[in-house]
Copies of this chain bind each other. A is one copy, B any other.
Amino acid sequence: MSFTFSNDVVVRFAETDAQGVAHHASYLVWFEVTRIEYLRRFRGGYKGLRDEGVDALTLEAYARYRSAARFDDHLKIHARCGDLRGARFRFDYEVERDDGETVAVGWTTHACVSVGDHRPTRVPTWLAEAITQAESD
């Protein structure tokens, strides 16, 4: 899979565990941080989206851990957004260490909801178009 976007993350000491590696739940946080940076390029990003009255829920999360990330590892989280259909969208991720090794892969699915009552709402047209444009470049 090819990626058009990536975000840099350095493994924090607080994210390691007694096995001496990054705890596996940390990856979901890195995926989220990367989604925020991904969206930041479009208008006001995730914050702008919320200001417009649209929030995004996480419906599913999956990660496959191929090798261990350790304290202070410099990681590149590649991300790609797709499957935009109605209220739903999906992100795919690849976590690459700066030695070129793929540490993990994963994906998450999401749904747009209105901020107030959390009822499903379509991905705003401007955002769907901006993402489609960015991913086709």
A→B interface (CB under 8 Å): 12-14, 16-21, 23-26, 28-29, 32-33, 36, 45-47, 55, 57-65, 68, 70-72, 118
Contacts and interface: CB of A to CB of B under 8 A. Distances in A.
Contacts of A12: 29, 32-33, 36
A62 B107 CA distance: 10
B32 A14 contact: yes
Contacts of A24: 28, 58, 61
B65 A62 contact: no
14 contacts: A12-B32, A12-B33, A13-B32, A13-B36, A14-B23, A17-B17, A17-B18, A18-B18, A24-B61, A36-B72, A45-B72, A59-B64, A59-B65, A60-B63
Contacts of A19: 55, 57
Given A13-B36, A17-B14, A65 B57 contact: yes
A87 to B, nearest CB: 15
Contacts of A62: 60-63
